[in-house]
Amino acid sequence: MDFFDDLTAAIARNGTRHSVRCSDKVWQQFLSASAPAPARTPAAAAAHNEQAPPDRNISQAAMESFPAVSAFAGNPAGDVPVPSPAPAVPAALPADWTALRQMVLNCQSCPLAAHRTNAVFGEGAENARLMFIGEGPGADEDATGRPFVGAAGQLLDKMISAMHLNRSEVYIANVVKCRPPGNRMPGEEEAACCIGYLHRQIELIKPEVIVLLGGTALHFLLKVDGITRHRGRWLDFNNIAVMATFHPAYLLRNPSAKREAWHDLKLVMAKLGISI
């Protein structure tokens, strides 16, 4: 059982979602120690505020561990708006899903194309109220052409389900559509080549809320750095409410941060009118 599995189960045990608050009693059911998975190199983690791991094929053992939680940790910075860059989607990008998908699947705009098995366009409801944005495909995503299907994806599924949603009613995409070799972070130029696709996806979906998974997504969508500083409070992208939170891969390596991630997701639920 994972934290978010356990959370969902505890909410169910405590009656309807409407009757449950994240009381200490409920929280206590999630608290126990776990061994963190190995970290990305310190330099790379520092550069992107400890986002994704060097290898997204994280062990099942790490997935199944409980978090170690000490105290409630909201973001003391509060709801300080961060200006959005208001990017222009290049006119050459198609404004319909079929053509846009085809363009991504055939894209040769940057060197990442040469390394991919499949471009990963994104998936979910094209009219989703909630959109999740990650960093880029890992090995499993590259192999299948689907976003977030590896270990981090399984945790994301649990996070979505703890929010009383399922994968088919949200939209899941990445900053870059092709896997960076060795799961390294996408470079500035690679992301610059690809970001228009994401902007167009956002424009087509018009979600009410975007959740940025990790500092790389935060960096490339909002041009701000510091997931620890910016998570847990409302940001803005072209008048869409944005919540940044920890990347699921980071949560697998640092289970104690799941509590903060859950805090962030509860803000998103409240914004969408979903009872906890």
CA distance 109 to 153: 26
- By C-beta, is 153 or 255 nearer to ligand URA? 153
Based on the shown chain and the rule CB under 6 A, indicate whether residue 147 belongs to the binding site for ligand URA. Answer: yes
CA distance 74 to 72: 6
Least Å distance, CB 135 to ligand URA, is 3
Based on the shown chain and the rule CB under 6 A, indicate whether residue 137 belongs to the binding site for ligand URA. Answer: yes
Among 128, 152, 193, 205, binds ligand URA (CB under 6 A): 152
Least Å distance, CB 131 to ligand URA, is 13
Among 65, 174, 201, 245, binds ligand URA (CB under 6 A): 174
- By C-beta, is 135 or 260 nearer to ligand URA? 135
Closest CA to 216 of 201, 202, 196, 230: 230
Among 5, 6, 50, 135, binds ligand URA (CB under 6 A): 135
Other Cβ atoms closer than 10 A to 119: 23
Residues 6+ apart with CB under 8 A from 111: 190
Going across the sheet that includes 234-237, the strands are 123-124, 171-174, 130-134, 209-213, 240-245, 234-237
- Number of residues lying near ligand URA (CB under 6 A): 15
CA distance 268 to 233: 10
Rule CB under 6 A: which residues touch ligand URA? Answer: 52, 56, 134-138, 141, 147-148, 150, 152-153, 174, 249
